[in-house]
Structure 1
Amino acid sequence: FTTILFTMFSIMGYLATRNSLHYKHKNSFIDLSKVMASPMAPSITIIAPAYNEGLTIVENIRSLLSLRYVNYEVMVVNDGSKDDTLKKMIEAYDLYEIEYIPDPEWRSKPIRGVYKSRQRSFDKLTVIDKENGGKSDALNTGIQLSRNQFVGCIDVDCLLLPDALLHVVKSFYQRSEKKVIAVGGVIRIANSCKIQGGMLQEIRLPKNWLAKFQLLEYTRSFLLGRMAWGRIDSLLIISGAFGFFDRELALEVGGYDTNTVGEDMEIIFRMRRHMHERKLPYTVEYIPDPLCWTEVPESTKILINQRDRWARGNLETLYKHKDMFFNPKFGRLGMLSYPYWFFYEWMAPILEFLGFFSIIAFYFLGILNIEFFIAITLMVYAFSIMFSLYAILWDVYSYNEYTRTKDILILVFCALIEPLTFHPLVVWSAIRGNYKKLFKIKSGWGSQVRKGFAKT
């Protein structure tokens, strides 16, 4: 089993490297400015659900309104916020309520009002105020009300770089033999970065240690893991913080599932199934460029709640689409992607947790081969560090976001201690999430308290 695991991750590193090199070579010939200037540029709606985001909402919207693109709309869906989120948007962007005729067949929570700005400089902004129904419900509202060709579903606290939409549009149109149904991308961590006027001014390593560990984890997951799956056209998840879809197809499959907390993963499963079952050529594109920056939890409690939710969403999606498991009908999705998510993303934390107690029991029963246990533990530890170090080095080679030698050395130190410090916390969060789901303990999305981005 250990040999299989090592081989799988080695292949994953190789595929990710090949895909990154291919992407950089392919895009070295493209002039994105021509896409931006073209009056024929496809229309995009960026949908950003907001719930109690008063601390950062004005800055975040300013970032979304500063993108270098001609034909796009920013639609902020205020999902029944209990703080001053709506008030701050109205004051900052001079909003007024426009006439709106509700669709009697619309299934989402009732819309309380639709707002536009009196200022021409903010004419791309639309604000929807509705009763609280959760993130999926808010996104579905935006998808339904949008009239544009593509929809981008992002977290409102994310900061997109000015060229983000140019890269997205390029990804939708760079294929001729297959229909691109969705585009996802790398999520970068903005904690401690310098933000001014909704723009990323200076990239800084997070000061908080939990955020540092998450930076390492995100680098490894996005730059290696998802790039590898993208290389063999088997990507099963697009992060909810940065995902763009063909709007008609998203509506055709019913939009986001409001009965799961893993809506970003589940909708990709459903869209892929839809295309597979109709035997239509399609693909999901993945962008490795650092276009989206977001704030991650700096509190242990909030982090555990987040990973708890991810585990529940993972299990819900796997169960809903269980007929894909080793089903050749779905090609690589059924024979490779789904089994990987089942064994590694779902079962691995459970086996790790049970294995810890098994080792203790074996020791006291006198049946533990200590020499072999130490040897295999050191080998697994060394391989995990090597994989993390490769992710760090490849990130430095590819994008070099953190230019100070001190920052790289800190990330290397994080890689050395992560298996003993941060990883057990992630495993425990997954166990808690699975326990809640398996024993039907009611638990929703939870909340994440934002600290806000650094401005100085």
Structure 2
Amino acid sequence: MKLFYDLFSGGTFWDAVGVFYQSAVFIYGTSLLMAYAMLAIMSLISIQRYMKKNASVDFQVIVESPLAPGISVIAPAFNEGVTIISNVRSLLTFNYPKFEVIIVNDGSTDDTLEKLIDEYELVHVEYAFREKLNCEPIKRIFKSTNRAYEKLVVVDKVNGKSKADASNAGINISSYDYFLCTDVDCILDKDTLIKLIKPFMDEETTKVKEVGAPCQECGYVHIEEDYRRVIASGATLRMVNSCDVDEGLMIRVRPPRRLIPRFQEMEYIRAYMLGKMGWDFINAVPNVSGGLGMFDKEIAVKAGGYDSKSFGEDMDMVTRMCAFMKDNKRKYSVRYVPLTLCWTEGPTTLKVFGRQRSRWGRGLAQIMSIHRKIIGNPRYGRLGLIVFPYNFLYELLAPIVEFTGILFYIYLIITGQINWPFAIILIVFVYTYSVMITTLALLWDQLTFKYYKTWGETIGLCLMAFLEPFIYHPLIMFFAIKGYFNFVTGRKHVWGNMQRQGFGMQPTKKKTDAAAMAATK
């Protein structure tokens, strides 16, 4: 109403536009803060529910059970010669009775394949499989002559220029009904498979109803089961930077010492503990991380697997899996567990970090564009009415709103129109709220799971929340907008190199020099 009042009471058109913009941004910001508060509350309830449900569970029963479902662990590798041996050794140490590890050498140009062959005594074998998903040609398949590595399968294929293509090749080779997709540069907890398969095993019949009158032939009333199928599960990721790792096993968890990975660790904990676990409470998890996700292979294949042309292949596949279930009128769940089961090496330089975040921004814009029919569509249930509208409003549009808001603030300052008392109160409130949400996530994580050995490490990480709005968040906003620009203009994406530091408790100078020269996807 004030907009029209200003227009018809002598105010200029641009004055009215300014009033409208300020009102819209105020409503947008208020709704965003309320959404964060609701997610925080739902997350706390969800985590408490998980802890209570699993407090008395004996996971060893699953390990010893002959009925435990088989799991294929798929890890694409491109030029990972520096860390490939310790990475694969980590994957082979899972505490689980029935699994295989499939390493997909995606046309590496370094010595990745040669190191695997030498270390694990691999030989070329004839391997029967059916190509269910499209991928670049598979050249050779290797198995070990040493029975200690009988769970290992190494696939050598033509480079597909994406992790998605290599993952599809791994799915084609896989033998079991469930697969875990991860990055070969990740360190996984030895109980990862047990913890991630449990949601699939837990999802039982929630309701049984009678259908019709008693059968004339058998005399019994037929029943219909209301079954909700778990199609994917995920868990928390952290940065492996600065942690102690010995032969592929996590020895000591520490927050990263370097600035960018340290910010990213804080961001990951907040995103998983408050974000994903909050969405888990209402069965509306938006995606499962590409670094660690377990999937129902049947549904993944029917949904088309990974899209090698997607810049957000993990979210894209989960979206298509959910849409497939809704299109076929089948109930489903995507579950998250609040445990940290994966440590991944984060970028340490601004150049590599910018490349990563620009790609993520481009991937989000691409997904919103490809699956735009889902937004607000009641046919897709929570996916269409909650997940996609939230991602569109508060993930895709957020960097744009923030950037235009900064420009508008600068304009008001230059023209002397800013209400300084109100502006300062608003900025202090938003800043305090941001710090509070992040600190809550970090402290709740430490109180519940105690991954850090000392409270000093936790407090040190909490202090990063005070710096985030001035250093880290502006970078995320800038690189996200850059990704949007690349998407709109159709700019060709070039897969860059990330300098791996390698894992080890006390790396020698020789190892460090080798790591500095390693080039990866």
Does residue 1:114 correspond to 2:114, yes or no? no
Is this contact kept in 1: 2:74–2:170, CA < 8 A? yes
1:211-230 alignment runs, 5 A limit: 211-230=261-280
Letter matched to residue 88 of structure 2: I
Q: Map of 1:54-453 to 2, 5 A cutoff?
A: 54-100=81-127, 107-133=134-160, 134-177=162-205, 178-453=228-503
User: Which amino acid in structure 1 is aligned with residue 111 of structure 2?
Assistant: D
How many residue pairs are counted as aligned between the two chains? 456
What is the percentage of aligned positions where both structures have the same residue? 39
Paired with 2:284 and 2:455, the residues of 1 have a C-alpha distance of 36
AA at the equivalent of 1:70: P
The structure-2 alpha-carbon separation of the partners of 1:323 and 1:413, relative to structure 1 and needing over 3 Å to count, comes to same
Comparing 405-414 with 283-292, which one deviates more in the overlay? 405-414
Opposite residue 28 of structure 1, the aligned amino acid is: A
Q: Which residue of 2 aligns with 1:12?
A: 39
Q: Secondary structure of the equivalent of 2:468? A: helix
- Structure 2 Cα separation of the partners of residues 364 and 205 of structure 1: 42
Q: Which residue of 2 aligns with 1:49?
A: 76
- SS of equivalent residue, structure 2 residue 395: helix
Whether contact under 8 Å (2:233, 2:288) holds in the other structure is: yes
Instruction: Give the Cα–Cα distance (whole angstroms) in 2 for the partners of residues 383 and 211 of structure 1.
Output: 23
Task: Give 1:331 shift.
Answer: 1.7
- Tell me the CA shift for residue 103 of structure 1: 6.1
State the alpha-carbon separation in 2 of the partners of residues 151 and 65 from structure 1.
Answer: 15
Residue aligning to 2:4? none
The answer to whether the 8 Å contact 1:144/1:251 transfers is no
1:37 & 1:78 partners in 2: Cα distance? 32
Cα RMSD (Å): 1.4
CA distance in 2, matches of 1:365, 1:325: 39
How far apart, in 2, do the equivalents of 1:211 and 1:444 lie?
A: 23
| Residue number in structure 1 paired with 2:221 | none
Structure 1 residues 326-370: Cα deviation after superposition (integer angstroms, max 9, x where no partner): 111222221111111001111001111122122112221222222
Distance in 2, matches of 1:302 and 1:51, equals: 17
The 3 A distance-change label for structure 1 pair 144 and 373 is: same
Alignment-mate amino acid for residue 174 of structure 1: D
Structure 2: where are the runs of 5+ without partners? Answer: 1-26, 206-227, 507-521
- Structure 2: which amino acid aligns with 1:283? S
Higher mean alpha-carbon deviation, 102-111 vs 167-176, is at 102-111
Whether the aligned pair in 2 keeps the contact of 1:309 and 1:445 (CA below 8 Å) is: no
Q: How far is 1:407 from its partner?
A: 1.1
SS of residue paired to 1:191: coil
Q: How many angstroms apart in 2 are the aligned matches of 1:289 and 1:80?
A: 34
Larger relative contact order (C-alpha < 8 A, sep ≥ 6)?
1
CA contact (8 A) 1:77 1:128 kept: yes
Deviations 1:272-307 (A, max 9, x none): 011111111211111111111111111111111101
Deviation at 1:445, TM superposition (A): 3.9
C-alpha separation in 2, matches of 1:353 and 1:16: 29
Q: What CA distance in whole angstroms lies between the structure 2 residues aligned with 1:312 and 1:424? A: 17
1:306–1:446 contact (8 Å) kept in structure 2: no
Cα distance between partner residues in 2 of 1:137 and 1:321: 20
CA distance in 2, matches of 1:283, 1:310: 24
Cα distance in 2 for residues equivalent to 1:335 and 1:251 = 25
TM-score of the pair, normalised by structure 1: 0.97
Structure 2 length-normalised TM: 0.85
Amino acid at match of 2:459: L
Structure 1: runs of 5 or more not aligned = none
Find the aligned partners of 1:212 and 1:248 in 2 and give their Cα distance. 38
**399-408 or 443-452: bigger deviation:** 443-452
Q: Distance in 2 between matches of 1:454 and 1:157?
A: 13
The aligned amino acid for 1:197 is E
- State the distance in 1 between where 2:373 and 2:312 align: 18
Q: Which residue in the other structure is 2:60 paired with?
A: 33
Q: Distance in 2 between matches of 1:270 and 1:135?
A: 18
TM-superposed CA distance for 1:419, in Å, is: 0.8
Q: Which moved more, 1:271-280 or 1:2-11?
A: 2-11
1:455 equivalent in alignment to 2:505: yes
The AA in structure 2 aligned to 1:173 is M
C-alpha contact (below 8 Å) 1:115/1:128 kept by paired residues: yes
User: Residue by residue, what CA displacement relative to the aligned partner does 1:142-185 show, whole Å, maximum 9, x if unpaired?
Assistant: 11111211011111111111111111221111011311111111
User: What is the letter of the counterpart of residue 79 of structure 1?
Assistant: D
Q: Distance in 2 between matches of 1:444 and 1:258?
A: 14
